[in-house]
Amino acid sequence: MDTRPSWDEYFLRIACDVATRATCLRRHVGAVIVRDKRILSTGYNGSPPGQPHCTEVGCLIEDGRCIRTLHAEQNALIQAALHGVSTQGATLYGTCRPCHVCARMIVGAGIERVVFLGPEPEGWAQDVLKGAGVEIVALPYPPETTQPVMSEDLLVR
């Protein structure tokens, strides 16, 4: 019996490791873009280059969300673009479901499959992905992985 993780589990574990580099105090998110079992790009949520990180100055909250950081999916797509790596036909692995902005970017970047931890996306993000024919795979959190928590006392308002 093969006790190795499936490829989806393997790349999700790598996304969890990538998330440890996140600089947002509210949530650590990681993303890995893969094609043909090869990692093309990785990204984590954090401030754009040259900007202060939440870990340095606190989160910048508007409408209940931190607006200081780029999302992990966005950073992974940006890194691929900066290095001339096509994401056409790739799979994006993420530690959480994509938001509606990331869903549009995923579709625009030619990603064909999205695998993430947690429940399926709801509303517009799901509609965008499914409408573009992107396969959505939501896997439960493994026992050794816990959902990120928000620490209200660390937020800048």
Average pLDDT value for residue range 109-128: 88
Q: Give tens-digit pLDDT for 39-68.
A: 999 999 999 999 988 888 988 888 888 788
Give how far Cα 133 sits from Cα of 73, 82, 129, 136, 138, Å: 18, 26, 6, 9, 16
| Counted domains in the chain | 1
pLDDT for position 143: 45
CATH assignment at residue 81: 3.40.140.10
Asked, for residue 152, whether it belongs to a domain, the answer is: no
The number of beta carbons lying within 10 Å of the beta carbon of residue 151 is 11
Q: How confident is the model at residue 142 (pLDDT cuts 50, 70, 90)?
A: low
Is the pLDDT score of 151 beyond 60? no
pLDDT at residue 124 in the model = 85
Q: Is residue 154 part of a domain?
A: no
Residue 115, amino acid? V
Is 73 assigned a catalytic role?
yes
Write down the catalytic residue from 9, 56, 62, 73. Answer: 73
CA 73 to chain centre: 4
Q: Which domain holds residue 101?
A: 7-141
The residue with greater pLDDT, 124 or 108, is: 108
At CA 93, angle to CA 91 and CA 94, rounded to 5?
145
